[in-house]
Structure 1
Amino acid sequence: MEREVRQGGGCLVVPVKIVAVLVVLPVRVVWELLAGAARALDRYLLGPLYTYVLGPVLRGLGRVVSFLLKLVFVWPWTALWRYLLGPLVRALYAYLIAPLASALYRYLLRPLGLAAWWAADLLWRYVLVPASRWAYRYVLRPVATVLAWAWGVAGRVLRRAGWVLIGWPLSQVYRYVLTPVGHVVRAVWRTARDAVREAGAEVRRMLFGTPAGEQARSRARTLSSTTAAADAATAAEFSPPR
């Protein structure tokens, strides 16, 4: 692009630059002169003038204004409080408020407090304590006694109902069902056990032979056990219910 501008408009570039320099150069010269004059003025005139003249004058004026403000708004009120209002307030507190408060406490609040304490003591001693004793004697203790009696009756009723509904049927089942069945089972068990023993003894006799005394004792045991089982079964079958 620059090459195109240089090649296409080369005859206009130099006059434009000359005109720009001729216009901007005087402005820049004036700006530099003004800037240098301002720096020189600040350095050699305004700076020393503020440092040695205006600064002290302004500080003095600030002190004067501060003094005048204190003289008008601070010191009068401070003196008024210190020498008039403060002593007046202290005098009012010492000679009016404090005696009034003391008299109010002594002749009104303290008697009212004592009267309230006395009334509360009388109420507690002659109303609340007797009422609580009466309520305990004629209401709470009878109610507690009735509740304890009802609790005991309910326990006895529950025990009786439990015996009638659960305990007595179970005892009857145990007495008239389980006990005879147990006797029969025991008799059958003993009979079967003796039969097994007898069979084992017979097998031993067949294999090895058995002395005469042992054979007699075996027959006696068999006869006695069979008789006892028959008697127990007969007794369990024909015994009347209790």
Structure 2
Amino acid sequence: MEPQKPLPEPRQPEGCLVTAIRIPVRIVVLVLVVPVRMVWDALVVAGRFLNDTVLRPFGRALLWLGRAVFVWPLVGLWRYAVVPFAKGVGWLGKWLLVVPLVWLYRYVLTPVGHGFAWVGRGIGAGCAWVHARVLTPVGHGVMWVLRGIWGGVYATVAWLARYLVVVPASWVYEWILTPIGHGTVWVLRGIGVCLYWITRVLLVLPLLALWRWVLVPLGRFLAVVGREVGDALGHAWRVAGHVSRAVGRFLGTLFRWIFVEPVRWVYRTLLTPVGHVVRDLVLRPVAEAARSVGRATRQALAAARESVRQARADFRRMLLGEPRKAVAVDRREPTGRETRTLGSSTTALTKD
């Protein structure tokens, strides 16, 4: 089931100003857009023809040339030079660096590291014993002494800070800074209220009036004009397309009746019968005569080759004599009773 299309929104009623703007704008835009659309359609047709006949074959030729000049040599270089060289370098690196380093790590550095680890574990055990049996008791005693000293010093400093800093600062904040701050806030609040009303009366209200009574109506008028110009451009572009298509069809029909149809009539009515007559009366006899001449020439050449072959054989016999005849060897089956057959037992294995 196809989804239902949303209904178009109802068009708002338009005033006489919109109608008065729309008709002249559409007329002017149509007059201006029709030549542009016709030129555009002509350029599109020319561009498609140029693309199909020139640019696309040229691009394919450039692509093939680029492959032949750049891609294929690079692929061959990579496949037959870089890859074998890299494999050779990797093989040399493996046997000249990796294998010796693995051997050095396994048979030299690993035993040395184990020895250092054993010595380090011994030193660590000794240090742990010194820390647990010597340094820890000494540290506890020092901390006990420092804790007692720090407790007395802290209590004295706290008492002095309370009565020399905190109490005077609290009195100054409560009886001096607080009243001054309240007075400053009251003065700043009054200054802020005055600045607010001055800004509102001298700046905000004029700007609000300018926006409400000048810019908003002007913007609505410009929006109507812009919308109508856009609609007129779209409508004129579509109408110009129909006009351009009609003009193109007219020119195509005119070209066909002026040039194509006369050429077709001349070809069909005059050239085709003349061509048939020329073919039947001139070309076919000429072709048959040429074939006859060709057959006679081939026969003459064959006779000449045979004469040359016979003369060469006679000259060879005159100089070297008759060639020795080969002795004929009878390779056929034996005849008479010696013949081997499938139905008798006269073979080499079964005869008596």
Q: Give the TM-score band, short-chain normalised.
A: 0.3 to 0.5
Which of 1 and 2 has higher RCO (CA within 8 Å, sep 6+)?
2
TM-score in terms of structure 2 length: 0.27
Q: Larger helix proportion, structure 1 or 2? A: 1
TM-score in terms of structure 1 length: 0.37
- Which structure would you say has the larger Rg? 1
